[in-house]
Amino acid sequence: MTGLRYVYAVCRPLAAPLQAELTGVAGAPAKLLHHHGLIAVVSDVPERDFAEEPLRAHLEDIDWLAATARGHQQVIDALTAVTTPLPLRLATVFRDDSGVRVMIEEREEVFLRTLDRLQGRVEWGVKVYVEPTGQEGTAGPEAKPASGRDYLRQRRMKARAHEDTWQRAEQFAGRLHSLLSEHADAARLHAPQNSALSRASGQNVLNAAYLVPRAKSEEFVEMVDRTKGEEPGIRVELTGPWAAYSFVEPAASEGTEGTGDAGGAGNTGGTGEGDA
């Protein structure tokens, strides 16, 4: 079976060992490839699945993509526990170790600059949702309208209650984002998630990521927790700590294209809370 090199991340030499028997994409063990004072964390993956053409086909397969993303994230999470990784995009692959080394040399300056900026920091994701119950104007079952006029009145009340709830949620989300941004080294606002795709209950009002020093993470988490339940009908969700997907320069996270490697086709975006 011909193998390719799947690259998860680039980091500096590890101060602590990576967990034993760590497996990633396709159940392959993660390995460390040292080059120019940096480390690429890689796995051997089969060409039949990760060469350019089969990979393009697989990226249309939601189940395959989800399994690959889980394996990718498993390695990134293990790295985040022992160092500050610079995660590469999902399904970044190269023909062999030589291709990975060329990639490191070509992007060495941006890798080092980004790793310096992210050192000792992790990403936390915060989402604010308007709960379905928070959109209702009345508690309990509605009375059947006695007439067309009653029906229109009920519709107006519903619309007014919905508008009031959204206005309250947007004001709450704005205050929360301002507060958290003051206690983070950087913040990113992502587009609200589509509830039909995310399968989360309620409608997403705030979808943000915050770059926080590890040493201040406990304080940050407590700050978010204190806001939960503050506003009826509004839910606050915290995720993390993640590798800093949202704060990696695009040039640093991309694979190498146009070099004869298998890279390029798989540059589909990060798997962490970059859409957090």
Q: Which pLDDT does position 71 carry in this prediction?
A: 97
Say yes or no to pLDDT of 254 above 70. Answer: no
Rounded average pLDDT over 117-140: 77
Rounded average pLDDT over 57-71: 94
Q: Which pLDDT does position 19 carry in this prediction?
A: 84
Q: Of 139-143, 189-193, 205-209, 254-258, which gets the smallest average pLDDT?
A: 254-258
User: What are the distances in angstroms from CA 149 to CA 22, 96, 268?
Assistant: 66, 73, 53
Say yes or no to pLDDT of 161 above 70. Answer: no
Q: Which pLDDT does position 142 carry in this prediction?
A: 54
Q: Are 107 and 263 in contact (CB under 8 A)?
A: no
In a shared domain, residues 135 and 218: yes
| Distance of alpha carbon 164 from the chain centroid | 31
Q: Which pLDDT does position 140 carry in this prediction?
A: 46
Rounded average pLDDT over 100-121: 95
Q: Are 93 and 99 in contact (CB under 8 A)?
A: no
In a shared domain, residues 204 and 223: yes
In a shared domain, residues 237 and 126: yes
Domain that includes residue 52, residue range: 3-119+248-275
**pLDDT bucket at 179, cuts 50 / 70 / 90:** very high
Q: Which pLDDT does position 229 carry in this prediction?
A: 84
d(CA 229, CA 236): 8
Buried (b) or exposed (e) across 119-144, using 16+ Cβ within 10 A?
Answer: eebbbbbbbbbbbeebbebeeeeeee
In a shared domain, residues 163 and 90: no
Nearest to 237 by CA among 194, 208, 197, 216: 208
**pLDDT bucket at 259, cuts 50 / 70 / 90:** very low
**pLDDT bucket at 262, cuts 50 / 70 / 90:** very low
Kindly tell me the sign of the dihedral angle through the C-alpha atoms of 184, 185, 189, 195. negative
d(CA 69, CA 57): 16
Say yes or no to pLDDT of 137 above 80. Answer: no
In a shared domain, residues 221 and 131: yes
At 261, is the secondary structure helix, strand, or coil? coil
In a shared domain, residues 33 and 141: no
Query: At 35, which amino acid appears?
Result: H
Q: Which two tokens stand for residue 128?
A: 């604010």
In a shared domain, residues 35 and 65: yes
Q: Is the peptide bond before 241 cis (omega within 30 degrees of 0)?
A: yes
Q: Which pLDDT does position 89 carry in this prediction?
A: 93
In a shared domain, residues 225 and 265: no
d(CA 124, CA 213): 10
In a shared domain, residues 238 and 128: yes
In a shared domain, residues 94 and 111: yes
Q: Which pLDDT does position 271 carry in this prediction?
A: 36
Mean pLDDT across the chain, nearest whole number?
Answer: 84
Q: Domain tally for the chain?
A: 2
pTM: 0.78
User: What are the distances in angstroms from CA 127 to CA 110, 124, 193, 201, 203?
Assistant: 30, 10, 9, 12, 10
